[in-house]
């Protein structure tokens, strides 16, 4: 991996620990942080040594969204420039996370706002500190929801609750987020890392090729007709059942032992 400047990266027990490391800015996403996150998510897709990912933030915040303090006037100009700029920035980041066919655990240690909240919600599991807060901050800035929020939120909480979050932009506690189905588990701050490690290690020991294919099917489920979903399911199962993990899983079942999956 390259020498990162805006993230901390550590590969441990087949789990990639990715820490957004701009604590003085509450890990607001500038171009450098965005590009480094896209780089690690893209690498993790094809890196056999990465079988699960943990995404978290350094300091007191998880991620307060896009960094609005940087210089303006850069990037494309002219008609449609804003659209092209967004495609290459926040949308590219969310797509890289969403398309990562490895399990991702977001360990939310503090405020997750705007793009930051969507980095959490675009992960497969969200473990939140009891001190975490989630904010759809866009309405406070007089802008429309972006960074994939209009795609993610209705899938997670339903249309009316998604509108409530976006239209009012209120702070949401970790406990409320758990009740709404946005958070998998709320833990004490001093238990966040240990809980994320436990979940990620368990995922990394699983049949991650099969998990990745299941993730793809589930992520596409609300966009597909039944006919398309069943066709893709059959194709995925055809590929997975030829894997080493399937052979190991079947053999372990017959031998009445725990399988030792390799992720291939």
- Is residue 1 one of the residues assigned to a domain? no
Per-residue pLDDT averaged across 149-164, rounded? 96
Q: Which domain holds residue 124?
A: 7-204
Whole-model pTM: value is 0.89
What is the structure's pLDDT at 257?
Answer: 86
What is the structure's pLDDT at 245?
Answer: 86
Asked if residue 74 has pLDDT above 80, the reply is no
- Is residue 103 one of the residues assigned to a domain? yes
**Whole-number average pLDDT of the chain:** 90
Q: Which of 109-113, 142-146, 165-169 has the lowest mean pLDDT?
A: 142-146
- Is residue 35 one of the residues assigned to a domain? yes
Token pair 């780089």 is found at 39
Asked if residue 54 has pLDDT above 60, the reply is yes
Residue 100 shares a structural domain with residue 181:
yes
DSSP state of 59: T
What is the structure's pLDDT at 69?
Answer: 79
Asked if residue 45 has pLDDT above 50, the reply is yes
Asked if residue 73 has pLDDT above 80, the reply is no
Residue 199 shares a structural domain with residue 213:
no
CATH number of the domain encompassing residue 12: 3.90.226.10
Q: Which of 81, 116, 111, 73 is nearest to 97 (CA)?
A: 116
Residue 146 shares a structural domain with residue 85:
yes
Sign for the pseudo-dihedral over CA of 51, 55, 56, 57? positive
Contact between residue 105 and residue 123 where contact means Cβ atoms under 8 Å apart: yes
Domain final residue pick, 178, 204, 230: 204
How many other CB atoms sit within 10 Å of the CB of residue 161?
15
Q: How would you classify the pairing of strands 15-20 and 7-12?
A: antiparallel
Asked if residue 81 has pLDDT above 80, the reply is no
The count of domains in the chain is: 2
Residue 24 shares a structural domain with residue 140:
yes
Residue 56 shares a structural domain with residue 144:
yes
Residue 180 shares a structural domain with residue 53:
yes
CATH number of the domain encompassing residue 219: 1.10.12
Rounded to whole angstroms, the Cα distance separating 20 from 58 reads 6
More confident call, 92 vs 73: 92
Rounded to whole angstroms, the Cα distance separating 184 from 100 reads 19
Reduced DSSP (H G I as helix, E B as strand, rest coil) percent helix, strand, coil of the chain, to 5: 50, 15, 35
DSSP state of 107: E
Token pair 């979940």 is found at 199
């Amino acid at each position: 991996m390259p020498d990162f400047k805006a993230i901390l990266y550590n590969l441990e027990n087949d789990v990639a620990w990715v820490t957004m490391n701009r604590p003085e800015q509450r890990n607001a996403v500038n171009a450098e942080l965005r590009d480094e996150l896209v780089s690690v998510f893209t690498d993790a897709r094809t890196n056999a040594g990465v079988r699960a990912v943990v995404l978290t933030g350094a300091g007191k915040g998880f991620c307060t969204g896009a960094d609005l303090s940087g210089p303006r006037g850069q990037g494309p100009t002219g008609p449609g420039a804003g659209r092209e700029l967004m495609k290459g920035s926040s949308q590219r980041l969310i797509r890289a996370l969403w398309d990562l066919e490895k399990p991702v655990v977001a360990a939310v240690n503090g405020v997750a706002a705007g793009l930051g909240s969507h980095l959490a919600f675009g992960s497969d599991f969200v473990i939140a500190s009891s001190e975490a807060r989630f904010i759809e901050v866009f309405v406070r800035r007089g802008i429309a929801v972006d960074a994939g929020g209009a795609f993610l939120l209705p899938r997670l909480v339903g249309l009316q609750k998604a509108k409530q979050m976006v239209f009012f932009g209120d702070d949401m506690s970790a406990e409320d987020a758990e009740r709404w189905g946005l958070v998998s588990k709320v833990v004490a701050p001093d238990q966040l890392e240990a809980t994320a490690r436990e979940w990620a290690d368990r995922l990394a020991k699983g049949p991650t090729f099969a998990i990745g294919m299941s993730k793809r099917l589930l992520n596409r489920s609300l966009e597909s007709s039944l006919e398309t979903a069943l066709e893709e399911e059959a194709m995925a199962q055809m590929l997975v059942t030829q894997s080493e993990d399937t052979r190991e899983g079947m053999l372990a079942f017959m031998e009445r032992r725990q399988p030792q999956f390799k992720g291939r």
